[in-house]
């Protein structure tokens, strides 16, 4: 299992329930330079039982890190993170390394994954990728 971790407060659609991801790029950007569509994509999540998406709030100004990942299912995603010199050094030093995707409320998420009636095509692909090879 990957020793490095990237934490998320929600199961964002952009993650497609991937469990690990390779960090491929780190970019510094003022929030004012981010396209509205990028902010929409990166911050959108669904709360339980709600059909309307919520968005993780970003401050109206400031400098951020944009981390680019390719997940274990081959699906790329980004995450916008507050910048600090320590975080910038940490992520730059770990480009090419695998991170475990950790949900802060993971026990609740694990219970949902056990209910196969809620499986998506991405869950099914993940299960197949974890099955032993048939000989």
pLDDT band at 119 (very low <50, low <70, confident <90, very high): very low
Q: Is 29 exposed, middle or buried (0-12, 13-18, 19+ CB in 10 A)?
A: middle
Would the pTM of this model clear 0.85, i.e. be above it?
no
> Tens of pLDDT along 5-46?
999 998 899 999 999 999 999 999 999 999 999 999 999 998
The confidence score (pLDDT) of residue 129 equals: 45
Q: What whole-number distance in Å separates Cα of residue 111 and Cα of residue 131?
A: 20
> Tens of pLDDT along 84-111?
999 999 999 999 999 999 998 644 444 4
């Amino acid at each position: 299992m990957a020793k490095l971790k990237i934490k998320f407060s929600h199961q964002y659609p952009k993650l497609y329930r991937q469990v690990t991801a390779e960090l491929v790029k780190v970019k510094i950007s003022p929030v004012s330079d981010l396209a509205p569509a990028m902010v929409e994509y990166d911050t959108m999540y669904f709360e339980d039982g709600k059909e309307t998406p919520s968005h993780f709030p970003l401050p109206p100004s400031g400098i951020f890190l944009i981390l680019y990942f390719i997940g274990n299912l081959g699906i790329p995603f980004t995450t916008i993170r507050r910048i600090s010199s320590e975080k910038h050094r940490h992520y730059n030093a770990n480009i090419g390394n695998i991170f475990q995707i950790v949900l802060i409320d993971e026990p609740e998420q694990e219970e949902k994954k056990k209910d196969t009636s809620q499986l998506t095509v991405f869950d099914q692909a993940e299960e197949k990728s974890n099955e032993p090879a048939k000989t």
